[in-house]
Structures are given as C-alpha cells and as structure tokens.
Chain A
Amino acid sequence: MTTQQPCRAWRARLNAWFDGETSELDAVEVRAHLLRCAPCRAAVGRWSALRDELALLDAPPADDAALQRMAVRFEQALAREVRDVARALRVWKWAAALLLAAGIGIAAADRLVLPGQALASHPRDVEEGLRDLLQRPPAVPADEAPLPAADPPAPAARRAR
C-alpha cells in the first residue's frame, strides 16, 4: 500500500503548522490549503494518528519513593567515585615517587666511582696514558709549522729562459 505524500511545496509549512511553530497568518494559509488538498490532509491525518500512538510511550512522573531511592544511590555512587579517584591519585603519587627515586638512583650510579673500582683501574690506566703521551710526536703550533717545499719550475719554463 502506498501512502500519499504531501505537496512538496507545502511540506515544510505543513510540518511547522502541525507542530504549532507557525505564525497565525501562515496557519490560516495552511488551513486553506488543507481544505483543497487531499494528499496534505492525508499526511496530517497520518501524523495525528502517529502522535496518538507515540503518546502510548509517554511515562508517568517518578514517584517520591523512586526519587528518594535514586538520590540515595546517586550519593553512594558519587562517594564511591570520589573514593576511587582518591585511591587512583594515591597510586599515581606512589608510582611517580618510585620513578623519581629510580631515576635519581640511576643518575647517581653513573657518576659514582666506588673505592674498589678506583683502585683497581688506577695503575694500569695511568701507566698506559703516560706511555701514550710520551710516544706521541710533539705538537707544533700551526703558525710555526714549516711551509711545504716550492715546486721546481716546469721544464718548458726553464727552456724558454
């Protein structure tokens, strides 16, 4: 079964009129149009019937007992939420403190030379360092370095002379 659609040109105004969202002047025009247009009348009838059907889904207001129950439950849930947030904060604080301590520990371990480590490494390192220094050629400053020897004149130039 196909349903009659309202006139395309009137659709928006018809809809607004049906929902009480038009001016009085518009409402007069829509009513006049409805008198002579069967598809638009059918659409309005359909929407009216639908409105009645949808009214079946309406709900009664909450009774006092339900409201009281919800208020108590909400307060409890809120308190639980606050407790959970506080607990999570505590955990995060501890985790941050542990991380910080671990970081400080690692940094300190990098710089720290334990007495045993220093004694064990000292003689050999110093000895090798000294030997290296002694075997290295003496450094000459750049301005005192000898200039490279000048190239001998080319044979052709010598012949020309």
Chain B
Amino acid sequence: MGDRRSEPTRPQPTRWDAAGSGPPAPAPGARLEALFRDYGAKVYRLALRCGLDPDEAEDGVQEVFLKVQRRMDTFRGEAALSTWLYQVALHTLLDQRRRTLRHRRPLPLEPAEDGRGDLPVPAAEERPDEALVRSERRRLVREAMDRLPRYFREVLILRELEGMSYRDMARILALAQGTVESRLFRARERLAAELRRLEEIL
C-alpha cells in the first residue's frame, strides 16, 4: 500500500487520435462504416464506463453513430474527427445514463450490474465471496459517481478510466488545460467525500 501511495499507478492512455485524423474517405457512407469499424468497440467500452449495462451500451453505441451520421455535415475539421466523435459520444452516453437512472431504484435495491446476470461473476482465481465484495464495492463507487455533477464525472471518466492526457481532455471538453487540472482535483476530493458519506449511510 505504501509503495502505491508513493508511486501512483497510471492508467494506460488510449490512442484516440491514431486513426481519426487521416484524410477523409470519399463517400460519406463508407466513411461512417470505417468510423464504426475503428471506434465502435471504443465507444461501447466508454458506454460501459459511463455506467450503462451491456444492453444499454449497445443502444448507446447505435445512438452515438446515428448522431454522428446526422451531424457529419456540421463537422468543420478544426479538431480531429476522433475528438469530435468523442465529444458526441460522451455527451450522448452520459445523457443516456441520466435517463436510465431516472427509472432505476435507489442503491440498496438496485440489482447487481455485473454483466447481464444478477450475481457477480468471479474473476479468474477469485473466490465467490471476494467477487461479491468487489461487486458491492463497485456499486458503491458507481453510486458515488452518479451523485457527482456531470462535469466532475466527465473528467474522472476521461482521466481515470480512459487514461487520457490533460491535453486530450482539454480538447474534448473544450477547456483550458489548467481548468482540466483544477477540475480533476476538485472531482477527486468530491468523489472521496461522496464515498465516505455513502459508507456512513450503509
């Protein structure tokens, strides 16, 4: 534990801009298909990281790419296509998460979010009771995340789960890097406080 505190583990950055900044394909349909091929899996994973369950995530991916198709004409090429796609995706998926939360019951009665089943699936070399504890802990963290304002959730998802640099985050969120940094600091402190509060309640 002491080692981890002195040398923080860093999430691996996601290379979003690797494939999206090349020359555009000639036909819009082909371009869209290529976009889906390149980014479909990433958007799906982002949807899960935003808190959607697998079924909702599939719906979310579809909605994101349909939005991209409708707004393709408004893309002005000032940013990389991947950055623009990511903006649309984050916005759409967090909206969808908000909508699903409205129809869900509060934390103690909420079903486990582990995959499609009701019971947590143990990881390899993990005991069932450990899997249960991990699942409960995950629900708690998810609940704490859901209680944060959206702008805090955005930076935490992009940094801690997507592993993005401040520079990429600033581009996607259309903010100055200094703002990203300070927002991240406040988001962490707020999330820690929310977790403490939830632990006290439960």
Nearest CB of chain B from residue A50's CB, rounded to whole Å:
6
Nearest CB of chain A from residue B5's CB, rounded to whole Å:
4
B66, A81: Cβ atoms closer than 8 Å:
yes
A20, B10: Cβ atoms closer than 8 Å:
yes
Contact A44 to B5, CB < 8 A, known contacts A12-B181, A70-B61, A77-B66: yes
Q: Bin the interface of chain B by size.
A: 35 or more
| Contact indicator per residue, chain B 119-151, by CB within 8 Å of chain A (1) or not (0) | 000000000000000100110011001000000
Residues of A within 8 A of B193 (CB): 3
Nearest CB of chain A from residue B70's CB, rounded to whole Å:
8
Residues of B within 8 A of A81 (CB): 66, 69-70
Segment from B15-23, B37-45, B76-84, B103-111 that makes contact with A: B37-45
- Residue in B closest to A78 when the chains form the complex, CB atoms: B69
Determine whether A103 belongs to the interface, using a CB cutoff of 8 Å to chain B.
no
What's the dominant secondary structure at chain A's contact region?
A: helix
A70, B58: Cβ atoms closer than 8 Å:
yes
Determine whether B26 belongs to the interface, using a CB cutoff of 8 Å to chain A.
no
- Residue in A closest to B36 when the chains form the complex, CB atoms: A74
| Contact indicator per residue, chain B 146-185, by CB within 8 Å of chain A (1) or not (0) | 0000000000100111000110000000000010011011
Determine whether A56 belongs to the interface, using a CB cutoff of 8 Å to chain B.
yes
Number of residues of chain A lying within 8 A (CB) of chain B = 42
Cβ 8 A contact of A53, one of B65, B185, B189, B195: B195
Determine whether B188 belongs to the interface, using a CB cutoff of 8 Å to chain A.
yes
Determine whether A57 belongs to the interface, using a CB cutoff of 8 Å to chain B.
yes
A48, B8: Cβ atoms closer than 8 Å:
yes
A58, B161: Cβ atoms closer than 8 Å:
yes
Determine whether A47 belongs to the interface, using a CB cutoff of 8 Å to chain B.
yes
Given contacts A15-B182, A19-B159, 20 further A-B contacts (CB under 8 A): A3-B193, A11-B185, A12-B181, A19-B166, A21-B166, A50-B191, A52-B9, A53-B141, A54-B161, A55-B11, A58-B49, A59-B48, A66-B54, A67-B41, A70-B40, A70-B62, A74-B61, A78-B66, A81-B69, A81-B70
Q: Which 4 A-B pairs have the closest CB atoms?
A: A59-B48, A56-B138, A45-B5, A54-B160
Chain A residues at the B interface, C-beta cutoff of 8 Å: 1, 3, 5, 11-12, 15-16, 18-21, 31, 34, 41, 44-48, 50-62, 66-67, 69-71, 73-74, 77-78, 81
Q: Would you mind naming 20 contact pairs between A and B with Cβ atoms under 8 Å apart? A: A11-B185, A12-B185, A15-B184, A31-B6, A47-B8, A51-B160, A53-B141, A55-B160, A56-B137, A57-B141, A59-B48, A62-B44, A62-B45, A67-B40, A67-B44, A70-B61, A73-B62, A74-B61, A77-B66, A78-B66
